[in-house]
Amino acid sequence: MAGLSFAVGRGEVLGLLGPNGAGKSTTMKIIAGFLAPSAGTVHVGDVDMSRQPIIAKRQIGYLAEGAPAYQEMTTLGFLRFVAAARGLKGAHIDRAVRRMVELIHLEQVIHQTIETLSKGFRRRVGLAQALLHDAPILILDEPTDGLDPNQKYEVRSLIRDMAADKAIVLSTHLLEEVDALCTRALVVAAGRIVADGTPLALRARSRWHNAVTMIVEGEAAETLRPHLNAQFGDQRVEIQPTSLEVTATPVPAMAITVFAAPDELGKGLSPQHVAEALQSMGRNQGWRTLGLYVDPGRLDDVFRDLTIRAQERT
Amino acid sequence: MRIAPVALIAKRELISYFTTPIAYVFLTIFLALNGVFGFYLGNFIARDQADLDAFFQFHPWLYLVLIPALSMRLWAEERRSGSLELLLTLPVSTAECVLGKFLAAWSFTLLALAGTLPMWVTVNYLGQPDNGAIAAAYVGSFLLAGAILAVGCCLSAVTKNQVVAFIATAVVCLAVMLLGFHVVIDTIEGMLPSMLVDVITTQSFFMHFNSIRRGVVSGPDLLFFLTTIVFWLYANVVVIEYKKSD
């Protein structure tokens, strides 16, 4: 990793994205104080992690990759141990553990040893230990990995509810999670930052951003390709066969997509203009329109583009 | 170094011995082998002497096998399971973790030693032993266990494999133990300057333990064991810091 420099403020949920081996987990281990960087520093508020690691770590709740825990301990024993290690005492430990058990729904496994828990529950116990001391900073390495859709929903809601008064850094492979949770996304590839912005801004880098797609029944649209190319430019039109599977027999259809570069929006290629032009063309040809939509941009497209380019450079 | 985190880690570790079969297996084997060595190999009855020398003389060899079994999991298991990352991102220092784990294991060996107290009571019932000498031997045995344990803690942090940690600890401790044997001293005497030979041979666990076993807990022996423990625990901290990213 090199030149990886960023700041996360209170109220921000930063999603750390990147292919496997890009350095996401290493970055999180460094922020959490597990690994020391060979150069550079981590500041937790005003505290330098390398100089005052104990004070810095007190302000961090960390869920490591794979949610490691002491397998032979019960959920209750483990949470009490972590609470005490994080500086809580007496009644505060009981209160914090009780709050977590209720919040993360651990009631049914509280007296079970961790080695007997399902992957989902282990992850939830890991999350509970990270949230126990209500730290202002949360570092969560793939917090929803291994959870079922309902549990994912709950954990995301939990993170969203806490986001207003915490600084949260989370890593994920799920691009949907970036949309669902993150106020900002940082794409890391080959140990470097290749993009940093809001999920919306990242989507805007996709070639699909503001692309207008009209789906028409039948296969006649192909015949109008020269006309479409003439009107929008041949580099900007894509016609793909598709089908609608609303009945047992799929309905053959064509998807006409007109791409627009951001700097051309004012040149008669705004999504609205393109949509109107396509609709008008459809009416003239007597096509039956099955769908018309403007694409907000595709994160997976941007992710692939950025990371592959970064890997090619190295 | 803060006491509270050290005590917390020691308590967690000590409890973990009893929530797994380790404690029960270790205590059973330790006490059984003590009996076997003391009564049969040491000829406790035939010697007809009111002391526990027959029993203590085998402790170095007993510890050579049993203490590495106790220490092998201390860090190797933390590294293998990934819980090391959890532990070292809690607001505790590596040194506090090392000391906490070591004290847990050392106090466990004290508990094992306490299990042999009935033998001391028996000797007192049968005759009039030199209780001071026996108490000194207990102190020596405890210090010897601590020194081997400190080596084991450090070597357990070198690898994720508990078997490797066990073998490495046993081999290193055997080597250090043998430094006090005449056959080793005679061998290295001709090869090295006499000052160096003196320095090497005074590192023998066996020699210092035997010195205490005779009934005197002398300053140099005490200092030797304590500095040995401190040295290996410091090395343990260094190894963890160096190897934790693996």
ipTM of the complex: 0.86
Q: Are B126 and B148 in contact (CB under 8 A)?
A: no
pLDDT tens-digit profile of A236-252? 888 888 877 666 677 77
User: Which residue from B12, B90, B244 is facing A86, i.e. has the nearest CB?
Assistant: B90
Give the max Cα distance, chain B: 58
- A115 and chain B: CB distance < 8 Å anywhere? no
Q: What number is the average pLDDT over the span B91-119?
A: 94
Dist CA A78 CA A82 (whole Å): 6
In the structure encoding, which two tokens stand for residue B119, read together?
């033998």
**Which of A47, A55, A57 to probe by mutation at the B interface, max B CB count within 10 Å?**
A57
Query: CA A280 to CA A258: how far, in whole Å?
Result: 14
> Chains A and B: how many Cβ contacts under 8 Å?
64
Query: Which pTM does this prediction carry?
Result: 0.84
pLDDT for residue A190: 78
Distance CA A14, CA A3 (A): 18
Asked if the Cβ–Cβ distance from B85 to A29 is below 8 Å, we say yes
The radius of gyration computed from the CA coordinates of chain B, to the nearest angstrom, equals 19
- Yes or no: say if B76 and B160 are a contact pair by the CB < 8 Å rule: yes
Indicate if the pLDDT at residue B231 is higher than 60: yes
Please report, for residues A81, A90, A99, A110, the alpha-carbon distance to residue A93 in angstroms, rounded to integers and kept in the order given.
9, 6, 10, 15
Three-state DSSP class for A145? Answer: coil
Residue A278: name the closest of A262, A257, A261 by CA.
A257
pLDDT at A194 over 90: no
Confidence check: pLDDT of B140 > 80: yes
Residue B116, token pair as written in the block? 């042999």
Helices B162-178, B131-156: axis angle to 10 degrees equals: 130
Task: Check if the beta carbon of residue A215 is closer than 8 Å to that of residue A254.
Answer: yes
Spell out which residues of chain B touch residue A85, defining contact as CB-CB under 8 Å. 5, 8-9, 90-92
Of the listed ranges A213-217, A285-289, B227-231, the least confidently predicted one is A285-289
Please report residues of A whose CB lies closer than 8 A to that of B13.
none
Interface membership of B245 toward A (CB under 8 Å): yes
Query: Of B5-9, B45-49, B124-128, B223-227, where does mean pLDDT reach its minimum?
Result: B45-49
